[in-house]
Amino acid sequence: MHHEDRAGVNALIRGIDRIGNGGLPAAVIMCTNRLNALDPAVRRRAADILIFDRPGDAQRHAVLDEPLKQLGFTKPQIDAVVAATGTQKDRAHGFTFSDLTQRLLPTIVLDAYPAGAVTAARAVEIASSMVPTPPFQESRS
């Protein structure tokens, strides 16, 4: 860690301690996709560490159901898109929440723009060809 990094971590720890010792009802919430990269002193101060996995079928369905219904998709068509966004024989990981909301849905809509219609068959094609964000691999250095 560089001097600036250590100084920043130390300032963060002092701030967390000040809040913790202040007797005020407060919470510090930090999010990272690199849990193992957090400074051990910061991790020790955590009251709880919550780990969120990639969405399963039910969670992907909950994210995609309403937007795809608004596009006129039927339940079986929505189920086909959900299946295309899960694990596949050639990959062990499905789509992330952000893959669904920030990549897949806009791509489905933009694919039909400006003159076409959004179709379920094309949505499944797009989902099947889209590569989900790969899982983060911690380096062992």
pLDDT digits (tens, 9 = 90+) for 22-31: 888 888 888 8
pTM summary value: 0.75
Can you spell out the DSSP letters for the chain? --HHHHHHHHHHHHHHHHHHHTT---------S-GGGS-HHHHHT-S---------HHHHHHHHHHHHHHTT--HHHHHHHHHHTS-BTTBS----HHIIIIIIHHHHHHHHTTTS---HHHHHHHHHHSPPPPPP-----
**Rounded Cα–Cα distance for residues 58 and 65 (Å):** 10
pLDDT in tens, 42-64: 888 888 999 888 999 999 999 99
Q: What angle do CA 96, 102, 103 make, to 5 degrees?
A: 80
Predicted confidence (pLDDT) at residue 104 exceeds the cutoff of 70: yes
pLDDT tens for each residue of 61-96: 999 999 999 999 999 999 999 999 999 999 999 999
Task: Kindly indicate the confidence band of residue 21, based on its pLDDT and cuts at 50, 70 and 90.
Answer: confident
User: What are the structure tokens assigned to 137, written together?
Assistant: 């691999």
